[in-house]
Amino acid sequence: MNESMNRQYYLASRPITLPTPSDVPYRDVPVREPAEGEAVIRNLYISLDPAIRGWMSEVNNYIEPIAIGDPIRSSVIGRVVKSRSDLLEEGDVVMSLGGWERYTYGAAAAMHKLDENAGIPLSHFLSVLGPTGLTAYFGLLEVGRPEPGQTVLVSAAAGAVGSVVGQIAKMRGCRVVGMAGSEEKCRWITEELGFDQAINYKTCGDYEAAIRQACPDGVDVYFDNVGGDILDGALMCLNKFARVAVCGWISTYNDPDAPGPKNLWQLVAQSVTIQGFVVLDFQDRFAEGIDQLANWVMAGKLKFREDIVDGLDNVLPTFLKLFDGSNSGKLIVRNPE
Ligand SMILES: NC(=O)c1ccc[n+]([C@@H]2O[C@H](COP(=O)([O-])OP(=O)(O)OC[C@H]3O[C@@H](n4cnc5c(N)ncnc54)[C@H](OP(=O)(O)O)[C@@H]3O)[C@@H](O)[C@H]2O)c1
């Protein structure tokens, strides 16, 4: 690749199911000078998140859809190669909203400077000390509100968000059951992360029966990462005054015909609270969350996996790993200098 050109993977058409290379082709555009107040960064890490699939569609969402012709939007960490702002200088490392591209241009004021000499691998700021760790932290504690002794069920439990949710719930004194899509993932969350039990949802058969068996005292908090039939099974196992924290519905993102949940009447039957959230709802408390997550990581109480794939040109096939479950933890593309 020619470093003097900016390779960008952009949205050419809105996918209906899984995005294909014709929905997300690339182009090479000449680099330009940053405008006044802007900086240009060379992206080192590109965060791949299920939410990006939602932004590719023209639906009501918490931020605008990606416009046709725009680079695919994602969180990035990059090194400043040129700045026309007093806030940043060449060589600084920043986290920013950027794209699936070699260089990102943006207002320096909207870029968050990171200390690359703090002894923390930069990728952690996209995972456990970044959006996915914070989603787990605030989603579980503020929306799920688990009490010691209660049972917490989490889906996509070996993923970036789910694996952190389960460990925090254990630290809160809960019984924790995770649902994941392979024996290896089920072993990891029970043997390494301390979950009490795991359900392999690809082999367990009837979800309601499997959840009932793994949660003999019922479910007090369901942290929902997947929606669909697993949500329906979980709804049937909820205790009186249970909470359902709706974090994401990944099973529906590539299926325009996905049916809605059938068992929502359990909200009445069991006086259940169901609440959706986005991590940005807690933006003014991010410093507190990062501080707590970092303390747990340093104390060895919080483990996590990162799945880092090299090469900007691998970005689309790598993104698809989120939807077949072949990612192991937080999925990131690295674009070495
Ligand atoms: N609300 C927020 O602010 C917020 C922020 C970040 C993420 N999220 C949501 O949190 C969820 C997890 O995101 P993540 O970044 O941590 O990704 P992740 O869990 O690391 O990766 C996605 C996982 O989802 C599972 N999956 C994929 N398709 C599925 C299906 N049809 N049925 C059941 N499971 C399926 C796969 O694991 P298996 O191998 O176990 O199937 C896959 O590894 C997503 O729904 C995402 O949209 C929400």
Structure confidence by residue, pLDDT tens digits, 33-86: 999 999 999 999 999 999 999 999 999 999 999 999 999 999 999 999 999 999
Yes or no: say if 66 and 336 are a contact pair by the CB < 8 Å rule: no
Q: Report whether residue 66 contacts ligand 1, using a CB cutoff of 6 Å.
A: no
Reduced to 3 states, what is the DSSP secondary structure of residue 239? strand
Q: Report whether residue 277 contacts ligand 1, using a CB cutoff of 6 Å.
A: yes
CA of 134 to the centre of ligand 1 (A): 15
Amino acid residing at 67: A
Structure confidence by residue, pLDDT tens digits, 180-215: 999 999 999 999 999 999 999 999 999 999 999 999
Architecture of the domain whose range is 5-124+304-334: Alpha-Beta Complex (3.90)
Half-sphere exposure of 334 (CA within 13 A, CB side): 12
- The domain made up of 131-280 has a fold known as Rossmann fold (3.40.50)
Q: For residue 197, what are the CA distances in angstroms to 132, 152, 179? A: 23, 11, 9
Q: CA-to-CA distance for 175 and 68, rounded, in angstroms? A: 46
Q: Report whether residue 51 contacts ligand 1, using a CB cutoff of 6 Å.
A: yes
CA of 157 to the centre of ligand 1 (A): 8
- What residue spans define the domains of the chain? 5-124+304-334, 131-280
Two domains, one topology: 5-124+304-334 and 131-280? no
Yes or no: say if 253 and 51 are a contact pair by the CB < 8 Å rule: no
Which residue owns the Cα nearest ligand 1 atom 41? 181
Yes or no: say if 157 and 328 are a contact pair by the CB < 8 Å rule: no
Q: Determine phi and psi for 191, rounding to 5 degrees.
A: -80, -35
Q: CA-to-CA distance for 317 and 20, rounded, in angstroms? A: 9
Along the 337 residues of the chain, how does pLDDT read in single tens digits?
Answer: 567 899 999 999 999 999 999 999 999 999 999 999 999 999 999 999 999 999 999 999 999 999 999 999 999 999 999 999 999 999 999 999 999 999 999 999 999 999 999 999 999 999 999 999 999 999 999 999 999 999 999 999 999 999 999 999 999 999 999 999 999 999 999 999 999 999 999 999 999 999 999 999 999 999 999 999 999 999 999 999 999 999 999 999 999 999 999 999 999 999 999 999 999 999 999 999 999 999 999 999 999 999 999 999 999 999 999 999 999 999 999 998 8
